[in-house]
Each structure stands twice: as structure tokens, then as C-alpha cells.
Amino acid sequence: DIQMTQSPSSLSASVGDRVTITCQASQDISNYLNWYQQKPGKAPKLLIYDASNLETGVPSRFSGSGSGTDFTFTISSLQPEDIATYYCQQYDNLPHTFGQGTKLEIK
Amino acid sequence: EVQLVESGGGLVQPGRSLRLSCTASGFTFGDYAMSWFRQAPGKGLEWVGFIRSKAYGGTTEYAASVKGRFTISRDDSKSIAYLQMNSLKTEDTAVYYCTRYSSGWYPDYWGQGTLVTVSS
């Protein structure tokens, strides 16, 4: 199985801050990586697909980059409604594995 | 609007069975692969398995943790995907999510989830 190592596991930032989360795959996954947002008690929501493509309707302050084994997710200007847990997920090989999540809090 | 609604969750004893349903609307169900994920209380997300569309043979794939115990099926005439869970274990306790797989082979829409609690 491909292991996805996501960091940090938690993050506290202020409104307006630039926030960055990283995800490292245990082997080359090309650009077969997604980023999801999950708010408490809710289902995950797709934000970024194919490592860097913004899903329709998702605000442009969210972005993704990377390929191969190293990926980055960025919120350019943190908003109060962005408080959630964020997950990366690879879909290059089965099983489709996730990072352990990054819990984002407002400072 | 794509909608996925799971049902069938509840409390079940270890060793027993349970069937979850996922009723879809807002898209041509038969054209898409469908998948199940789960999330144990306070834990991360885990892929359970998926079923391909009939165009791709309608075949299934499963996570090692559920292979041989869980079965995914689909009824395209009713736009419903099923997750049959047999020989349930306490570690199967989780919220189970139904998802649609996009043409890019990743989950793009998720249901709201249904809680399965396996306990005596």
C-alpha cells in the first residue's frame, strides 16, 4: 500500500494568514492526488483534484501543487469558515489511501 | 444536483450482518463507478471498496480489511448501490460514506454518511 504522510497534524493560524500543508507519498503517484476538506459531523468535500486543479465552485484562495511524491496545499488568506480537517488522498494505486489529516484552528 | 443518501446503519452485534444502501440522484447512475469509505470515531478516512460501472464490467475491488466479508453491488434500474457487511467486528464501527467516482477515478461526491456501531 502507498503510505501518505501529511504534516502538520494540527495547525493554528490567524484570519488572513497563508496556510500550507504538505503531503508525501511513499512512492511516485504522478499527479493522482486530491485534497479534501471535512468539517465536524460532515462528509468530506473535494477541493483539489489531480494535485492542482480547483474543483468547480471552490474559492480561489485554495490551491495545490506538486507531483511525484511531494505535494503542497495552500490557503492564501485564511477565512473563519476554513476551520476544518484537511486530507490528502492518492488514487494512483489501490487501495486509495489518505493522509492522517491536518486539523486547522483559528488562533 | 448530485445527491447521495445512505441508509441502513445502526447497532449490530459482532458476527452479525448489515446491508447499507446508497440512493443516488442528479446524474446517470449507471455511467459511474460507486464506492464506499468509512471513518471510525475520531479517526481518519479509509477506502472500503468500489464497484465499476457495467461499461467496465461491473467488477469490484476491496480493501484487505474487509475482503471476503463485505460485498458491494449495484442496481442501476433503481440508482442504488449496496454494501453488504457480514461477520461484522467491533473494529468495523464507523460512519460509512457512499461516493461517486468521477471519470478520473476519484471520489467527487459524497453522501452524508450513516453510522454503523458493532457492539454486544
Closest-CA residue of chain A to B112:
A43
Closest-CA residue of chain B to A101:
B44
Q: Is residue A61 a contact partner of residue A77, using CB atoms and an 8 Å limit?
A: yes
The pLDDT value recorded for residue B41 is 95
Question: Is A101 within 8 Å of chain B by CB?
Answer: yes
Q: Is the pLDDT of residue A88 over 90?
A: yes
Q: Is residue A101 a contact partner of residue A87, using CB atoms and an 8 Å limit?
A: yes
The phi and psi torsions of B91 (rounded to 5 degrees) equal -75, -5
Task: For residues A58-85, give the mean pLDDT.
Answer: 97
Closest-CA residue of chain B to A31:
B104
CB contact under 8 A, A95 and B44: no
Find the CB nearest A46 among B97, B108, B111: B108
Q: Is the pLDDT of residue B104 over 90?
A: no
| pLDDT tens-place string over residues B53-94 | 999 999 999 999 999 999 999 999 999 999 999 999 999 999
Distance from the Cα of residue B92 to its chain's centroid: 13
Closest to A32 (Cα-Cα) out of A102, A97, A100: A97
Mode of pairing for the β-strands spanning A102-106 and A10-13: parallel
Q: What does the CA dihedral B71, B76, B79, B81 come to, rounded to 10 degrees?
A: 10
The pLDDT value recorded for residue B103 is 87
Which of B45, B112, B115 best probes binding to A when mutated, by most A CB atoms within 10 angstroms?
Answer: B45
| pLDDT tens-place string over residues B30-45 | 999 999 999 999 999 9
Question: Is B111 within 8 Å of chain A by CB?
Answer: yes
Nearest-neighbour CA in chain B from A46: distance (Å): 6
